[in-house]
Amino acid sequence: MANIIAVVWDFDKTLVKGYMQDPIFEKFNVVPKEFWDTVNDLPRKYREEQDVNVNKDTIYLNHFINLAKAGTFPGLNNEMLKKLGAELMFYDGIPDIFEETHKLINDNSKFREFNIKVEHYVVSTGMKKMIEGSKIAEHIESIWGCELIESRDESGNMVISELGYTIDNTSKTRALFEINKGVNKHKELDVNSKIDETNRRVAFENMIYIADGPSDIPAFSVVNKNGGATFAIYPKNDDKAFSQVEQMRKDGRINMYAEADYSQGTTSYMWITKKVAEFANRIYETEKRKLTGSVAEPPKHIT
């Protein structure tokens, strides 16, 4: 087991203000509310018209593909998604807090003694290419998100045309197990590979999961159950979002919550950095006990 602290982030409304798709809507003059109203009605539509159930978390991707084919999003492909990712607006303190947590660990000699480090991950139901194109990408160890396959349109241009890989709010837990087992670092491994707990790359008890609401309850549950830490975010002045996270706290779903501002001195900044330090100190003390417990007394002169 490596001495790694993993801070795992949701994306929409956790790191960015609103939804990551907003730059796409702005570029193509699409009204976001109309798009999402249509998407929210698709489960009912397909159930009534075709007696087919759909995944509510990822059906929006099908709608994007259909609109791209219909010409509403002309030329929308992975390269464009990546470029539009650079326009995403993050909450205050992002990406600075990523570097602050690294500095917190790297500047402490006792943590370096046992090679303790912190890594940041994103697990999102959003579009992976947009996250890869955003300003936080260089600070993130690995990204889990939805990916789209391209094909050529009638004009010979590459456009999104099929679903490639999807993450929904339940399968986010799969991503947590992949982090736990180190699947992202060792491609020969599979999430279903049997790996002894002591040989897994990131212990669940060293994970901090940060997200914005009830849809992340499955992931919160996995981390809580296994001794990690959970933290929820709500946008400033959003009474409904505040009530949701407060209820989650009352229900024991999360350890703590705060307003979505990661600037130094805010509750979010202090809780996250102190939790990283707390985990690092626990790992240090554990490693120190292992070391001292394995040392035998040196031979002495017999008198």
Enter the tokens of residue 297: 């007394």
Q: What is the pLDDT of residue 62?
A: 96
At 236-262, the pLDDT tens digits run 999 999 999 999 999 999 999 999 999
pLDDT (tens digit per residue) in 187-202: 666 666 677 777 789 9
Quickly list H helices, the chain. 22-27, 32-50, 59-70, 78-85, 96-106, 109-113, 128-133, 172-181, 217-225, 239-250, 267-293
Question: 81 near 126, Cβ under 8 Å?
Answer: no
How far, in Å, are 18, 45, 69, 200 from residue 38 at the CA level? 18, 10, 17, 43
Q: What is the pLDDT of residues 140-180, one digit of tens each?
A: 999 999 999 999 988 888 999 999 999 999 999 999 999 99
> What is the distance between the terminal CA atoms of the chain, rounded to a whole angstrom?
44
Distance, in Å, from the CA atom of 19 to the CA atom of 55, rounded to the nearest integer, reads 19
The length of the chain in residues reads 303
pLDDT of residue 190: 63
1 pLDDT above the threshold of 80: no
- Strand-strand pairing, 229-234 and 207-211: parallel
Per-residue model confidence (pLDDT) at position 136:
97
Is pLDDT of 233 > 90?
Answer: yes
Residue 120 and residue 141 in contact, taking contact as beta carbons nearer than 8 Å: yes
Backbone dihedral region of 156: left (phi > 0), alpha (psi from -120 to 50 degrees) or beta? Answer: left
The answer to whether the pTM exceeds 0.75 is yes
Half-sphere exposure of 81 (CA within 13 A, CB side): 25
What is the residue-averaged pLDDT of the chain? Answer: 93
